[in-house]
Amino acid sequence: MSFLTIIQILLFITLVGASFFVAFRKFKEIYDNINMGKPEQIDTTLGFRLKSMFLIAFGQKKMFKLTFATQIELIEIFIDGLTGKHRILYHAFEGSFLESLYVFVINFIEILSLLTFIVTIIFILRRTTFKVARFQMPELKGWPWRDALNILAFELTLITFIFMMNSGDSALHMKEHGEGYGFILSGFLGNMISSFPNGLLHFIEKTGWWGHLCMVMVFLVYLPYSKHLHILLAFPNTFFTRPEPKGEMRNMTAIEHEVKSMLDPSFVVPATDGEIKFGAKDVYDLSWKSLLDAYSCTECGRCTAACPANQTGKKLSPRKIMMDTRDRMEDISKGKKEHGPDFADNRNLLGDYVTKEELRACTTCNACVEECPVNISPLNIILELRRNMIMDEADSPAEWNTIFANMENNQAPWQFSPDDRLKWTEELN
Ligand code: SF4
Ligand code: SF4
């Protein structure tokens, strides 16, 4: 093994090791942030969990692309990087039936890469030129906007490096063996540059190899800071899908017990209920599942596009609710890093991030939950915050208070006594 190859292998190990270390630290931080939430029991069988994960997370085209093509790509990078050689799989399979399989897989990756390149350009145009409405909303200004474009630019760069690497390599292989590997796209490009001197072809191939390795590692480090974290979190999030029908409201257990004890004197309120807290004021009061939802949100905006409150000009955007929840966790985490674990900033998710006006605008129609492609429930967070606003802060419009009083006294929102409820039937024949 040459001195240069040893340097290359050491460089590879250092780059990959450092990237994994930095990424791991951020992933651990996100794990701790999700654990800020309250416990939530999700009673589902393993079969139900796996089914949800396969149907929703794997069922998405993007996930499929990632889990198939990228895994093959990563295997190739790692084997080549650790051995300091290129196309080691091809050479290992050469002459056997696996050679054709290898060529098929690389062709598959290249065609997928070309399609991704075209689609990425369309995505960039959709955001910058065609200005699709759901990508132009106020909550996407600033970092979310840059984040989306960063990833799209990243994809274009990565694919360019892959084609540089494969076409440089194909051209060298053609010169050496009189024929290419059988890769359709890079073989075509390699043919076009095969008249270049060998030194230049090696430079193109090596730049492509190191370039695409660096892009993969940059993506690994960037991922936990980006909305594209959903690529990974969609798996645990769908694995822990709640079993109840979408949008079903959960009772507050302690209140339910209190009502039960009023209706049935023999009912004993469990000691575990402790002090009753109404809804959620901050992320600590939300369940870990709602916090995982927030980190898994793709910011696609389908929920907001379907929200009747948003459509009629109200301030509410369910996508913003998810983004605010994530921002709040990130701010707390940053504060704890700077000021220690007891950090408190006298701010809350309710009021400082999500306004009461937004919460009041929700009709609980459930459209956002129905629309979400990855089973996220913005409604759950909205309901928890609104419960706190109304039951803890007693902050509700006067009209609502009348309704609440009627429901308490008359078991209906109207001001009629329950005894008068059937009076209208007296006028019937
Ligand atoms: S439940 Fe609320 S937030 Fe969701 S779509 Fe309906 S009005 Fe909008
Ligand atoms: S539809 Fe789901 S993933 Fe898309 S922005 Fe809304 S909550 Fe996030």
More confident: 218 or 272:
218
Query: Which of 161-175, 231-245, 318-332 bottoms out in mean pLDDT, i.e. has the lowest?
Result: 231-245
Average pLDDT of the chain, as a whole number: 86
pLDDT at 300 over 80: yes
26-61: string of b/e by CB count within 10 Å (b at 16+)?
bbebbeebbebbbeeeeeeeeeebeebbeebbeebe
- Distance between Cα 82 and ligand 1 center (Å): 51
pLDDT band of residue 65 (cuts 50, 70, 90) is very low
Of all residues in the chain, the percent with pLDDT exceeding 70 is 92
pLDDT at 273 over 80: no
- Distance between Cα 247 and ligand 2 center (Å): 14
Q: How many helices (DSSP H) and strands (DSSP E) are in the chain?
A: 19, 0
Kindly state the average pLDDT of the residues 105-121. 87
Q: Which ligand is nearest to the CA of 368?
A: 1
Q: What is the pLDDT of residue 61?
A: 45
Asked whether 374 lines ligand 2 (CB < 6 A), one says yes
Kindly state the average pLDDT of the residues 147-170. 90
Kindly state the average pLDDT of the residues 263-286. 84
DSSP for 171-224 reads: HHHHHHHSS--S-HHHHHHHHHHTTS-HHHHHHHHHHHHHHHHHHHHHHHHHGG
- Distance between Cα 379 and ligand 1 center (Å): 6
Choose the residue to mutate in 137, 230, 298 for probing ligand 2, maximizing ligand atoms within 8 Å of C-beta. 298
Cα 411 from Cα 402, distance rounded (Å): 12
Among protein residues, the one with the nearest Cα to ligand 2's atom 8 is 297
The string of pLDDT tens digits covering residues 28-52 is: 999 999 999 988 888 888 888 888 7
Cα 29 from Cα 312, distance rounded (Å): 38
Q: What is the pLDDT of residue 71?
A: 61
Identify the residues whose C-beta falls under 6 Å from ligand 1: 306-309, 316, 318, 362-368, 378-379, 382
109, 69 in Cβ contact below 8 A?
Answer: yes
Choose the residue to mutate in 293, 297, 382 for probing ligand 1, maximizing ligand atoms within 8 Å of C-beta. 382
pLDDT at 215 over 80: yes
Number of other CB atoms surrounding residue 210 within 10 Å: 17
Choose the residue to mutate in 291, 376, 379, 380 for probing ligand 2, maximizing ligand atoms within 8 Å of C-beta. 376
Q: Which ligand is nearest to the CA of 358?
A: 1
Determine the atom of ligand 1 nearest the C-alpha atom of 364.
Answer: 1
Q: What is the pLDDT of residue 265?
A: 83
Choose the residue to mutate in 300, 323, 370 for probing ligand 2, maximizing ligand atoms within 8 Å of C-beta. 300
Among protein residues, the one with the nearest Cα to ligand 1's atom 2 is 362
- Distance between Cα 148 and ligand 2 center (Å): 15
Q: What is the pLDDT of residue 72?
A: 62
Q: What is the pLDDT of residue 84?
A: 62
pTM higher than 0.85? no
Kindly state the average pLDDT of the residues 290-316. 93
Q: What is the pLDDT of residue 315?
A: 92
Q: What is the pLDDT of residue 62?
A: 45
Among protein residues, the one with the nearest Cα to ligand 2's atom 2 is 372
Kindly state the average pLDDT of the residues 5-13. 86
